[in-house]
A and B are shown apart, each in its own frame.
Chain A
Amino acid sequence: ETGVTQTPRHLVMGMTNKKSLKCEQHLGHNAMYWYKQSAKKPLELMFVYNFKEQTENNSVPSRFSPECPNSSHLFLHLHTLQPEDSALYLCASNEGPGNTIYFGEGSWLTVV
């Protein structure tokens, strides 16, 4: 148990579906992150939120839409994804810039 909880752990969706990934952190952190992990590629930072405000969008396609209603919750809304978007999506949190980040266990996404 890392203190960062992600649901669902596994998701299969069609290219026309709309789904959402959820992340909740119980660590009292102020910053939350979405990362994408694909086979044989480095982790790719997607979005960063500090105190609920988006501070970084790493050129992510608009079919990925993040939402951060408060410092403890982070969502990733998915719409009209492509098969190449199949990957492990990792949520992470930390106290702020420069501090250690803690990852959740990830949501395995398969787009068919």
Chain B
Amino acid sequence: QKEVEQDPGPLSVPEGAIVSLNCTYSNSAFQYFMWYRQYSRKGPELLMYTYSSGNKEDGRFTAQVDKSSKYISLFIRDSQPSDSATYLCAMSPTGANNLFFGTGTRLTVIP
């Protein structure tokens, strides 16, 4: 069983839609949760960073962590074509030295 499971997609949505991206994990020791966005032919860039359970909002993006269910989500409101990218979830028990990544979900927002 993989440490982190992420649906690879691809996921296509119309512009303006609400997008929900999800990851599940098996290691209950994970405490740090991140979402990275990776545009085609580019490196990943950090989008959201949360510690332990709860929600975090940043503009059109909301990250949710449910440790009891071992489930994390990223919501994108009013999606834009510029949001088209691969979204990687990552998590760790101790910090950035020990990150476990999902395989990434490829998102396309259609104008």
Contact = CB atoms under 8 A, between A and B. Distances in A.
Is B truly associated with A? yes
Contacts of A66: none
Nearest to B90: A43
B96 A2 contact: no
Contacts of B42: 105-106
Contact of A42 (B4, B45, B97): B4
A103 interface: yes
Interface string A1-26: 01010100000000000000000000
Nearest to B97: A97
Nearest to B3: A42
Contact of B95 (A41, A42, A92, A97): A97
Contacts, number: 59
Interface in A69-110: 90, 92, 94, 97-106, 108
Interface residues of B, number: 25
A43 to B, nearest CB: 4
B101 interface: yes
Given A2-B43, A48-B97, A94-B96, 19 more contacts: A2-B45, A6-B43, A31-B96, A42-B2, A42-B102, A43-B90, A92-B43, A97-B96, A98-B32, A100-B46, A100-B49, A100-B96, A101-B46, A101-B99, A103-B36, A103-B43, A103-B44, A103-B45, A105-B41
